[in-house]
Copies of this chain bind each other. A is one copy, B any other.
C-alpha cells in the first residue's frame, strides 16, 4: 500500500505533478468554491487521472492544506512593510491584521469552507491538530514578531503568553470576516480598527500594579490550560490507524 508522498521522498517529476494538481485545485476552488469543484475536475484541469490525483492528495481536504501554506506566505509578504515601518504596537497589530484580510479577500467564499474543516478535530486541516502544528506555529510566531518589534512595555509573564492570545484574537477576527457580508468586508476592517485599539489599551493596562493580581491570575490560568489543548491520542507508532477518520467527519 504505497502511501502518498506527503513529506516523503519526491522525485522531480512527481514534485511537478503534485504542484500542477494543487495549482489546478486552488484555481478551481477560488473560481467555483469547494463543493462545486469535483476531484474529477481537478484531475482533468491538472491533466492527470482521478486516481493519480488521489495518489498525491489522500483526500479532497488535503488539497486545502496547500491553501494554508500559500495563505500564510502571502500574509507574511504583505505584512513585511508594516513590520518594517511601524514601531507602535497597535499600528503593527492593526497593519498585520488588515494585511491578513487583504490577502485573504480573493478567497473569501472559499475560506468559509476552510473554517469548517478547521473546526473538526479529526480533520488533518485543523489548526489545532498536530499535522497543522506547523501552520499554527508560524502564525503565532508572526504575532510574537508584532510584539517583539514594538516599543510597548509588557510584563514578562504576560509577554510569554501574549503571542498566543493575539493569535486567538486573530482567529476571532477571521471568524467574523468569514461571516461578513458587508461590501468589501468593510465591517471587518472597522472591527480590526476598533478592537486593535482596545487590545492596545488592555495591554497597557496590564502593566498597572493595581491590576497585577488579576493579571497574574489570568496568566496562571493560561499556563495551566496551554499545555496543548489538543493533546489528543497519539497516533499508534508506525502506521496509520486501520481506517482514517473512522467515526467522525
Q: Say yes or no: A248 contacts B113, CB within 8 Å.
A: yes
Nearest-CB residue, chain B, relative to A194: B221
Partner of A120, one of B112, B122, B217: B112
Answer yes or no: A247 CB below 8 A from chain B CBs.
yes
CB neighbours of A202 from chain B (8 A): 214
Answer yes or no: A58 CB below 8 A from chain B CBs.
no
Answer yes or no: A8 CB below 8 A from chain B CBs.
no
Instruction: Identify which of A44-52, A141-149, A156-164, A173-181 touches chain B.
Output: A173-181
The minimal Cβ–Cβ distance linking A119 to chain B, given in whole angstroms, is 4
The minimal Cβ–Cβ distance linking A136 to chain B, given in whole angstroms, is 13
Complex: how many Å from CA A249 to CA B120?
A: 14
Q: Say yes or no: A35 contacts B116, CB within 8 Å.
A: no
Complex: how many Å from CA A221 to CA B35?
A: 35
Q: Say yes or no: A225 contacts B194, CB within 8 Å.
A: yes
CB neighbours of A32 from chain B (8 A): 247
Interface size on A, residues (CB 8 A): 52
Given known contacts A179-B230, A205-B214, A246-B36, A115 and B109 CB-to-CB distance under 8 angstroms? no
Answer yes or no: A233 CB below 8 A from chain B CBs.
yes
Give chain A's interface secondary structure class: helix
Q: 6 additional contacts, CB 8 Å, given A112-B248, A181-B233, A194-B221?
A: A33-B249, A35-B249, A110-B248, A119-B119, A181-B231, A198-B221
Q: Which residues of A contact B (CB under 8 A)?
A: 32-36, 109-110, 112-113, 115-123, 128, 175-176, 178-182, 187, 190-191, 194-195, 197-198, 201-202, 205, 214, 217-218, 221, 224-225, 229-233, 245-249
* 30 intermolecular pairs with C-beta atoms under 8 Å apart: A33-B249, A34-B248, A35-B247, A35-B248, A35-B249, A112-B119, A113-B120, A113-B248, A115-B120, A116-B116, A116-B119, A116-B120, A116-B123, A116-B249, A118-B119, A119-B178, A121-B179, A176-B225, A179-B229, A179-B230, A180-B229, A181-B233, A182-B231, A187-B229, A190-B224, A194-B221, A194-B224, A195-B221, A197-B217, A198-B214
